A and B are shown apart, each in its own frame.
Chain A
Amino acid sequence: MTEISYRDLPWPVRDDITAAQARTWEKLAQPSTWLIGAERIAIAAEARQAQDCRLCRERKDALSPEMVQGEHDHLGQLSALEVEQIHRIRTDPGRLSRAWFQGLAAKGMIEERYVDTVGVIANVVAVDTFTKGLGLDPWPLPVAQPGEPSRHRPAATRKLAWVHTLAPQDAIGTVDEDLYAGRPTAAHIYQAMSLVPAAVKDFFDLVTNQYIPPQAMMDFDNEYRAINHAQIELVAGRVSALNQCVY
């Protein structure tokens, strides 16, 4: 089993970051709501592979990604549809469009698996970018664990996004009430993957520990990190601008 540890670094890494990443890596190997463990590891590996994909590089350089056709350089473990999803999200997220998403759906993409896959990609990107930032090699991916997906679909009837989402008020009184802790509202970004509540919980474990906890975001009287609120938001804003993320 891969042990995530930053003990040997010359700089201190907060224990809560290390612990959250260790939890992420452990869950990465396990079956989730719509994916078996082996699929999750294959998705994680493909997300890494995408960075060396010639087609993705050519598309990134093109005025429009749709202008460049071809085959992805892939690892051969997933369908062409899944490879297209993973590579585009990993390498050119700012130019994803509703038409692209609908194109995947028309070819048979399953919405619940799509969202579960987004969660895997996000987790791997969060951990891999962190190690890159510190000059470390990416952590080896964990070994897939056996088991079946739970296939739990919440009462996600609203389409706040391209995908179905579980509105906070619709979660009240259901088994997914804990997703919003009974609150009637939530930030859109928190609702984005709510079609797969476990994906939200897993990713926001990293959000809380690598960024700041929700209750600290607007608490400008106190600082919670070695960089202050303004510095945190400057870094976040710069990254999002480079990714051309409108949100």
Chain B
Amino acid sequence: MTGVGANADGGIAHGAMLVRFATAVLGDAAAELTAARTAIVEAMGGAALTDTAAVAALFNAIDRVADSTGIPLEEKKADVTADFRAALGIDAFAAATEKGSGA
């Protein structure tokens, strides 16, 4: 399923389902997390669920490493991603001024 709107996959197989899970695992709604988990298992299988949970969990942690140490984005990465960072609203994040470009 691809397309636009709240349920769009963004051109990635099962994208909406994965985004739903990533959102739910950071949230407080247990029923929504259960539903998101079930959806992945039914559509993609149990191994996909556990690998998805592993990635979501790891990034929930590594974000804290980046943000608590104040590590800046590499200049090269900042340069090549400038357009879509602006388009996605990342430049509006609270820490964008301090950490958004190279050291």
A residues near B (Cβ < 8 Å) are: 6, 9-14, 17, 85, 89-90, 93-98, 101, 115, 118-119, 121-123, 125-130, 132-135, 160-163, 187-189, 191-193, 203, 206-207, 209-211, 225-228, 230-232, 234-236, 238-247
Q: Are A231 and B14 in contact (CB under 8 A)?
A: yes
Contact flags B64-75 to A (C-beta < 8 A → 1, else 0): 111111111110
Q: Which residues of B contact A232 (CB under 8 A)?
A: 51, 55
Q: Are A126 and B61 in contact (CB under 8 A)?
A: yes
A-B contact sample (4 more), CB < 8 A, given A189-B66, A226-B44, A247-B73 = A122-B64, A130-B57, A134-B37, A232-B55
Q: Are B59 and A227 in contact (CB under 8 A)?
A: no
B residues near A (Cβ < 8 Å) are: 10, 12-15, 18-19, 21-23, 25-26, 33-34, 37, 41, 44-74, 88, 90, 93-96, 98-100, 103
Min C-beta distance of B96 to chain A, whole Å: 5
Min C-beta distance of B55 to chain A, whole Å: 5
What are 27 A-B pairs at a CB distance below 8 A?
A11-B50, A14-B47, A14-B50, A93-B67, A94-B94, A97-B95, A101-B68, A101-B70, A126-B61, A126-B62, A129-B26, A129-B53, A133-B37, A135-B37, A162-B69, A163-B70, A189-B71, A211-B55, A230-B13, A231-B12, A234-B22, A235-B22, A239-B25, A239-B59, A239-B63, A242-B22, A246-B95
Min C-beta distance of B17 to chain A, whole Å: 10
Of B15, B26, B34, B72, the contact of A243 (CB 8 Å cutoff): B26
Q: Which residues of A contact B71 (CB under 8 A)?
A: 160-161, 188-189, 191-192, 247
- State A234–B60 Cα separation when bound (angstroms): 13
